[in-house]
């Protein structure tokens, strides 16, 4: 007997039952949290599924978490709490994604919860709402105040109410949270969290004939019966004209959109309601995908010989390389090559991800791709709603979308069988997430993804980043070049305009050189379009007093305020602070307060004065805030009534306009002399990209005018000659001499605190400790960044340079993290914030 029991028990225990789950919680804490798995859940709980757990003291919060690990070793230091609910029967997050999360958290020195937070579209995160309910066991109404009594009476009428609902019912001026708190204290009510999925499938209401009338005879009887009710008869007839069930009775099953049948006249609406009431029609709902069915018209893409050659070369190189760089000049038609390769990858049964910078995705390219791939293509874009993003996510899981075009965050989609990842405009800095953690680079993440799934990566650019080109030169990446413009279009003729000379000869018209002014005039005459580039928004970046040199500055940040004429206000581009424009100088009272420098707004203004008959559009952050503003501007420009488009770097990407024959570039010197080791590279990329907007149509050469104080600068000469390789050789030498990427890895630590002394002390200590361990040649700073105060926080940067090889980078990062944690536990420095930016740009 005892023996039997023993075997029973041992078999029970040896069974692989999971009792504990390690969870990723959406909070910035660098560890997993262990929860208990309730008995009934044990066999259905999967790694990668979402669960709901109680969190924090009391039952203060409920959170959605993702299961990272299942095991049965109880935690020793604490009593694990129970998981309260399982949300997914099947894993929502795949094994590949969990691996990616872990890798990113380690590589980018952030918390895995932060990674999960950006990875999951918020529609898949769970929202919880506090609800209030009466306690049925409460029977001491004499304890309540008058207000509490009123609230309780209100509550009794409903099963449960949210705070907002209560607020509405209780009327203005009632302090609902306080009342609830005291009611909870008196045990009169219970507060609980209602959890619900945010994702709501779009439903459409449909109607169909009651099955009774699917038989022909019955239908005829019905129509006869309705003879005296012409309006109702008409509705039935209309239904039959859309759903010809006389021929095929099965069609009735699918029914018809209620909206179609109603056809916006009220009479038929009421008739339909009656028919439904009399059970002639029945209504039902179906899930409507938000992305309408665009059956692919299967447009044939014809490659030019050059494109064909490039595509073949890429395929050949993929045999021996996992990563290939396609270096193709602007307008060489890289997209067609991509399409060809995407098609091949899809044909072989694998998934494809095509990454684009945010702004490029808003443009014509999506339409072109859609024409080829139709509804097999998912689009993942930040301007899409949560629900739409969840549908793309689910479409990837279900296999509906084998191919996704998307921005940075599309690397987080649940692919499990990638064959090809394309990173277009590979050099684009917007691939690097800057502000909230994880500060990841989508190109580099894509390369890791591809590595895990044995996929190939194609990097494309007209002006590759030095890092990438270096890898290609070293033979670590393949390299394919496409130097012929599509359809025999020639590269634009780039001319430099000497501003010093024009100023001396007094030929400047405000910010416009006479050369640019004349070119614009001629272009307008010819009814051709022009694009003007000035990488600075607003009217003017400074407002200054001529008498005392006072300048308008942001009270929270160490920057001058930019004057915005349209709203007649001064604005800080760092924190958003707004100020009125002073009529007189606040320090000396002088009325000579002038604007200095110019932004896109001022250019727009001056153009209107120079060319009052012409239509001028401006495209920058200020004019594209609204949802569709960007497309609207593009469309308006495309249809041709617009003569001149003024814009910031927004206009540099992906815009293909046939009729643009002139590009003007302002303030090139400011781009070139920016105090950053990448300034030259950036300036070259930017100027080349903008120039590429000119003359994309065959048979006519476009013109680019660059206004500069010094036309002799070597970088401008290289731009003129389209000499990327020359620029590369020169830059790479400098990078080597001064040990900058790609010869080292960079990690930037930013220390922030409201008190400058404290901030500085923390930074000094951190730098000193790091220097001790890593050597002074690897540590730069602490140094005040260009803008040393943002939102009233004083900043200090420490730059860490680590060799690319022979150094255990993981260990170095772990050490840095240790030192940071150390400082954060110091009594005097605890509330400083220190963020690490790995591979900072």
Among candidate residues 728, 665, 721, the one with its CA nearest the CA of residue 694: 665
Measured distance CA(513)–CA(530) in Å, rounded: 15
Does the footprint of DNA cover residue 720 (CB under 7 A)?
no
CB of 35 to DNA, least distance (A): 4
Rounded to 10 deg, the angle between the 724-737 and 466-473 helix axes is 90
Least gap, CB of 381 to DNA (angstroms): 25
DSSP classification of residue 632: H
557 is in an annotated binding site: yes
* Cβ neighbours of residue 430 closer than 8 Å, sequence gap 6 or more: 357, 358, 359, 408
Report yes or no: 320 and 611 within 8 Å, Cβ to Cβ.
no
The residue range among 77-85, 86-94, 300-308, 520-528 that interacts with DNA, by the rule CB under 7 A, is: 77-85
Of residues 41, 49, 52, 55, which one binds DNA by CB under 7 A? 55
Residue 78 found at the interface with DNA (CB under 7 A)? yes
The reply to whether 744 sits in an annotated binding site is no
- 583 contributes a contact to DNA by CB under 7 A: no
3-state secondary structure of 799: strand
Q: Which of 1, 40, 57, 250 binds DNA (CB under 7 A)?
A: 57
73 near DNA, judged by CB under 7 A? no
**Site stretch for DNA (CB under 7 A), options 39-47, 70-78, 538-546, 596-604:** 70-78
Q: Does 81 bind DNA (CB under 7 A)?
A: yes
Q: How far apart are CA 837 and CA 841, in angstroms?
A: 9
Burial class (CB in 10 A: 0-12, 13-18, 19+), 92: buried
Is residue 831 involved in binding DNA (CB under 7 A)?
yes
Output the six-digit token pair for 504. Answer: 């001396």
Q: Between residues 602 and 761, which has the closer beta carbon with respect to DNA?
A: 761
Give whole-number Cα distances, 167 to 162, 170, 194, in Å.
9, 5, 18
Among 3, 14, 60, 320, binds DNA (CB under 7 A): 60
The dihedrals phi and psi of 414, each to the nearest 5 degrees, come to -75, 55
Other C-beta atoms within 10 Å of 69: how many?
14
Who contacts 820 (Cβ-Cβ below 8 Å, separation ≥6)?
Answer: 749, 766, 834, 836
Distance CA 598, CA 617 (A): 17
Judged by CB under 7 A, which of 39, 58, 277, 806 binds DNA?
Answer: 58
How far lies 370's CA from each of 275, 342, 385, 410, 610, in Å? 41, 13, 19, 17, 41
Rg (CA), the chain: 33
User: Residue 623 carries which DSSP code?
Assistant: T
Write down the least CB distance from residue 117 to DNA, Å. 9
Nearer to DNA, 60 or 298 (CB): 60
- Toward DNA, which CB reaches closer, 253 or 831? 831
- Rounded to whole angstroms, the Cα distance separating 467 from 709 reads 30
Which residue stretch of 48-56, 254-262, 422-430, 562-570 sits at the interface with DNA (rule: CB under 7 A)? 48-56
* Residue 28 found at the interface with DNA (CB under 7 A): yes
Q: List binders of DNA among 126-155 (CB under 7 A).
A: none
Q: Where are the alpha helices (DSSP H) in 157-188?
A: 163-170, 176-185
Measured from the CB atom, is 316 or 754 closer to DNA?
Answer: 754
* 8 A C-beta contact, residue 828 and residue 758: yes
Candidates 47, 70, 80, 366: give the one binding DNA (CB under 7 A). 80
- Confirm or reject binding of residue 373 to DNA (CB under 7 A): no
| 435 binding DNA? (CB under 7 A) | no
Is 572 assigned to a binding site?
Answer: yes
Alpha-carbon distance of 7 to 260, in angstroms, equals: 68
**6, 10, 56, 734: which one contacts DNA (CB under 7 A)?**
56
Of the pair 77, 295, the CB lying nearest DNA is at: 77
Residue identified by tokens 């935690």 is 75
Cα(599)–Cα(605) distance, rounded to whole angstroms?
10
What is residue 618's DSSP assignment? E
HSE, CB side, 13 Å, CA atoms: give it for residue 591. Answer: 0
**Part in contact with DNA (CB under 7 A); list of ranges 73-81, 504-512, 524-532, 608-616:** 73-81
The piece of 75-83, 147-155, 305-313, 735-743 that touches DNA (CB under 7 A) is 75-83
Question: Should residue 228 be labelled a site residue for DNA when binding is judged by CB under 7 A?
Answer: no
Stretch that binds DNA, among 57-65, 238-246, 308-316, 556-564 (CB under 7 A): 57-65
Contact letters for DNA, residues 671-710 (x by CB under 7 A): ----------------------------------------
User: Is residue 39 near DNA by the rule CB under 7 A?
Assistant: no
- The answer to whether 767 and 796 have CB atoms below 8 angstroms apart is no
Tell the smallest beta-carbon distance from residue 222 to DNA (Å). 58
Residue among 606 and 793 whose Cβ is closer to DNA: 793
**Measuring CA to CA, which residue among 425, 448, 408, 432 is closest to residue 322?**
448
751 close to 832: Cβ distance less than 8 angstroms: yes
Backbone angles phi, psi at 136, to 5 degrees: -60, -25
Output the smallest distance, CB 750 to DNA, in A.
Answer: 14
Q: Find the shortest distance in angstroms from Cβ 61 to DNA.
A: 5
Instruction: Select the residue interacting with DNA from 383, 503, 526, 830 (CB under 7 A).
Output: 830
When asked if residue 12 is in the footprint of DNA (CB under 7 A), the reply is no
- Considering the rule CB under 7 A, would residue 635 count as an interface residue with DNA? no
Q: In angstroms, what CA-CA distances link 339 with 314, 355, 380, 428?
A: 13, 13, 18, 21
Q: How far is the CB of 164 from DNA (least distance, A)?
A: 15
C-alpha distances out from residue 656 to 331, 644, 720, 782, Å: 8, 15, 21, 44
Q: Name the residue nearer to DNA (CB basis): 21 or 531.
A: 21
Tell me: does residue 108 bind DNA (CB under 7 A).
no
Q: Which residue from 24, 34, 116, 243 is in contact with DNA, where contact means CB under 7 A?
A: 34
Interaction between residue 74 and DNA (CB under 7 A): no
| 110 in a labelled binding site | no
Measured in whole angstroms, how far is the alpha carbon of residue 100 from the centre of its chain?
18
Q: How far is the CB of 77 from DNA (least distance, A)?
A: 7
Annotated binding site for Zn(2+): 545, 548, 554, 557, 572, 575, 585, 588
**Binding-site residues, please?**
545, 548, 554, 557, 572, 575, 585, 588
Q: Residues interacting with DNA, by CB under 7 A? A: 27-29, 31, 33-36, 54-58, 60-61, 75, 77-78, 80-81, 830-831
């Amino acid at each position: 007997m005892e023996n039997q029991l023993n075997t029973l028990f041992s078999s029970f225990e040896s069974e692989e039952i999971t009792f504990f789950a390690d969870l990723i919680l959406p909070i910035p804490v660098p560890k997993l949290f262990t929860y208990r798995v309730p008995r009934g859940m044990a066999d259905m709980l999967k790694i990668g599924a979402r669960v709901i757990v109680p969190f924090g003291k009391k039952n203060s919060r409920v959170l959605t978490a993702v299961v990272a690990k299942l095991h049965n070793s109880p935690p020793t230091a604490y009593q694990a709490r129970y998981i309260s609910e399982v949300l997914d029967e099947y894993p929502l997050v795949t094994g590949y994604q969990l691996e990616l999360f872990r890798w990113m958290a380690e590589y980018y020195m952030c918390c895995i919860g932060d990674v999960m937070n950006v990875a999951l579209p918020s529609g898949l995160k769970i929202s919880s709402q506090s609800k209030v309910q009466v306690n049925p066991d409460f029977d001491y109404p004499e304890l309540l105040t008058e207000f509490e009594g009123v609230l309780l009476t209100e509550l009794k009428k409903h099963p449960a109410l949210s705070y907002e609902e209560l607020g509405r019912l209780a009327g203005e001026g009632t302090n609902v949270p306080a009342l609830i708190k005291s009611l909870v204290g008196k045990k009169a009510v219970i507060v609980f969290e209602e959890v619900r999925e945010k994702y709501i499938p779009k439903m459409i209401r449909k109607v169909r004939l009651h099955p009774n009338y699917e038989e022909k005879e019955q239908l005829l009887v019905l129509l006869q019966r309705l003879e005296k009710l012409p309006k109702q008869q008409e509705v039935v007839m209309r239904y039959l004209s859309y759903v010809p069930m006389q021929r095929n009775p099965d069609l009735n099953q699918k029914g018809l959109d209620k909206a179609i049948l109603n056809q916006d006249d009220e009479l038929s609406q009421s008739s339909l309601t009656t028919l439904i009431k009399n059970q002639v029609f029945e209504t039902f709902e179906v899930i409507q995908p938000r992305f309408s069915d665009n059956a692919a018209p299967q447009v044939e893409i014809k490659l030019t010989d050059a494109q064909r050659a490039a595509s073949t070369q890429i395929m050949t190189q993929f045999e021996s390389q996992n990563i290939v760089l396609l270096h193709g000049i602007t307008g060489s038609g890289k997209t067609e090559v991509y399409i060809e390769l995407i098609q091949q990858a899809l044909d072989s049964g694998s998934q494809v991800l095509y990454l684009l910078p945010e702004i490029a995705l808003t443009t014509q390219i999506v339409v072109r791709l859609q024409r080829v791939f139709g509804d097999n293509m998912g689009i993942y874009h930040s301007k899409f709603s949560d629900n739409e993003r969840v549908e793309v996510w689910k479409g990837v899981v279900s296999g509906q979308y084998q191919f996704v075009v998307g921005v940075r965050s599309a690397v987080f989609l649940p692919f499990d069988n990638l064959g090809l990842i394309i990173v277009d405009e590979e050099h684009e800095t917007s691939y690097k997430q800057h502000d909230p953690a994880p500060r990841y680079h989508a190109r580099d993440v894509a390369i890791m993804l591809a590595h895990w799934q044995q996929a190939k990566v194609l990097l494309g650019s007209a002006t590759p980043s030095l890092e990438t080109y270096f890898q290609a030169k070293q033979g670590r990446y393949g390299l394919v070049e496409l130097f012929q413009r599509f359809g025999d279009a020639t590269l634009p003729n780039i001319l430099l305009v000497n501003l010093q000379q024009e100023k001396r000869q007094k030929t400047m018209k405000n910010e416009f050189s006479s050369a640019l002014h004349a070119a614009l005039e001629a272009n307008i005459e010819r009814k051709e379009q022009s694009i003007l580039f000035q990488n600075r928004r607003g009217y003017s970046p400074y407002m200054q007093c001529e008498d005392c040199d006072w300048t308008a500055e942001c009270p929270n940040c160490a920057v001058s305020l930019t004057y915005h004429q349209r709203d007649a206000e001064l604005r800080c581009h760092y924190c958003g602070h707004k100020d009125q424009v002073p009529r007189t100088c606040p320090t000396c009272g002088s009325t000579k307060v002038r604007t200095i420098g110019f932004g896109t707004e001022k250019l727009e203004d001056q153009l209107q004065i120079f060319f009052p008959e012409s239509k001028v559009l401006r495209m920058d952050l200020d004019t594209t805030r609204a949802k569709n503003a960007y497309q609207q501007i593009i469309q308006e420009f495309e249809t041709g009534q617009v003569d001149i488009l003024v814009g910031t770097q927004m206009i540099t990407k992906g815009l293909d306009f046939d009729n643009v024959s002139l590009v003007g570039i302002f303030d090139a010197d400011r781009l070139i002399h920016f105090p950053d080791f990448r300034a030259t590279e950036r300036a070259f990329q930017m100027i080349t990209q903008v120039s590429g907007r000119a003359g994309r149509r065959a048979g006519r050469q476009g013109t680019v005018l660059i206004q500069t104080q010094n036309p002799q600068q070597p970088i401008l000469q290289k731009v003129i000659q389209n000499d990327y390789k020359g620029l590369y050789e020169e830059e790479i030498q400098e990078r080597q001499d001064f040990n900058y990427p790609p010869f080292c890895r960079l990690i930037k630590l930013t220390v922030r605190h409201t008190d400058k002394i404290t901030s500085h002390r923390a930074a000094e200590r951190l730098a000193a400790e790091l220097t001790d361990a890593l050597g002074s040649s690897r540590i730069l700073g602490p140094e005040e960044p260009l803008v040393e105060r943002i939102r009233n926080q004083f900043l200090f940067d420490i730059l860490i340079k680590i060799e690319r090889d022979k150094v255990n980078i993981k260990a170095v990062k772990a050490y840095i993290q240790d030192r940071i944690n150390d400082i954060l536990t110091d009594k005097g420095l605890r509330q400083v914030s220190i963020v690490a930016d790995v591979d900072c740009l």
